[in-house]
Amino acid sequence: MFHPFKIESYLTKHEKNVAFNYSESGVHPLKLGEFFELADKDIDELMQTELDYPNVQGKVALREKIAVLYPGSKIGNILTTIGASEANYLVAKTLLEPGDELVTLQPAYLQLSGNAINNGIKIRTVELIEAKNWALNAEQLSDAVNPKTKIISIINPNNPTGHILTENEMDLIIKAAANVGAWIVADEVYAGTERGDTKTTPSFWGKYDRVIAINSMSKAYGMPGLRIGWIVAPEALIPELQLRHEYTTISATMLGNVITNIALDPKVRPKLTERARTLINFGFDTLMDILSEHGDTYSVVPPEASAMCIVRYDLPIDSMEFVDRLVHEKSTLVVPGNCFGLDRHFRCSSALPEAYLREGVTKINALVSEIKA
């Protein structure tokens, strides 16, 4: 039986039909003109792009720029994809076989594990503990990983909590994987969204020989419409991933390749990172200011990274009903905590223009006032 991707099915139903959409997890998207101005490039150059298929693996110049971000890698380690979504799909289809198991941290965006479930794979979960600032439950990790474990699935920084794994937590995961020969599949799309810090989350790449790192232009770069992602993997695995890629999409788009090649230029990428950090830091502070109106109702473990946060609320209503009412009564969308196994929570975007953020979150407060009345 096919298991639909519940969170995406819910968002697809509502995200284009509300006045205020706070369900996105990346920084506010750039307009094309804004990007070319930021990059100090002439948009007319783009008009000379021939709309042919690019190289199946991605344009060589782009893969060279991606490889620079992962010390020890080269273009033979890189496969460009249609976002991180396709990357996760290809990894599941390539690595997982009947009888395998996958271990995932919880709460998490269950893209890779959802693909695994649809391949008949058993999933074991390891808790991130809210009361301990979303720290990894090391005892559960030890219990979950076993000789049948093919993949340990990691999102770092985490979606929805914004937790960044500590060095010790990363070491525990690597040790657990090495003990049974499992792959670590690290979805690192939120690296670069660190809040209040200039350091970037360290990659799992290069720390263990069975690591696959996944990233994209969607979250930290504010360019989700490009639909460009990439896989960094041992060179011997890339041809196997590519064979599945040729069945699914053949290649990422030419325009996506060309624009991403500009975005990852060493002179341009820092500007995108600075923009993201500005939106993230100011947006989180603004969100906390608005939510303080109901400080007795909301509680938040401040995220270490990401353009969103997970909000706990103390009300006699489950998160799906809460968000349904928010959609239908206030034309405002957040993500129900139930989608992450967290009832009486919701995930809310914050790296947004201030006026838009304030107006819509005020509507969330209005619903809370009505429920409390």
Q: Give dist(CA 287, CA 303) in Å, integer.
A: 12
- Best CA proximity match to 231, nearest among 69, 44, 88: 88
pLDDT-derived band at 1, boundaries 50, 70, 90: confident
pLDDT at 198 over 80: no
Full-model pTM: 0.96
pLDDT at 144 over 80: yes
Q: Are strands 135-136 and 335-336 parallel, antiparallel or unpaired?
A: unpaired
Q: Which CATH architecture has domain 46-267?
A: 3-Layer(aba) Sandwich (3.40)
Instruction: Render pLDDT for 331-362 as a digit per residue (tens, 0 to 9).
Output: 999 999 999 999 999 999 999 999 999 999 99
CATH top class, domain 6-31+270-367: alpha beta
Q: How many CB atoms lie within 10 A of CB 308?
A: 31
For residues 121-140, average pLDDT: 98
Instruction: Render pLDDT for 294-340 as a digit per residue (tens, 0 to 9).
Output: 999 999 999 999 899 999 999 999 999 999 999 999 999 999 999 99
Q: Give dist(CA 214, CA 155) in Å, integer.
A: 9
What's the confidence (pLDDT) of residue 45? 87
Q: Domain coordinates of the chain in residue numbers?
A: 6-31+270-367, 46-267
Decide: residue 17, CB within 10 A, 0-12 exposed, 13-18 middle, 19+ buried. exposed
Instruction: Render pLDDT for 5-41 as a digit per residue (tens, 0 to 9).
Output: 999 999 999 999 999 999 999 999 999 999 999 999 9
pLDDT at 197 over 90: no
CB 79 within 8 A of CB 238: yes
Instruction: Render pLDDT for 28-85 as a digit per residue (tens, 0 to 9).
Output: 999 999 999 999 999 998 999 999 999 999 999 999 999 999 999 999 999 999 999 9
Q: Which residues contact 213 (CB under 8 A, 6 or more apart)?
A: 70, 186, 188, 203, 204, 205, 231, 232, 233
Q: Which residues on adjacent β-strands are paired with residue 127?
A: 106
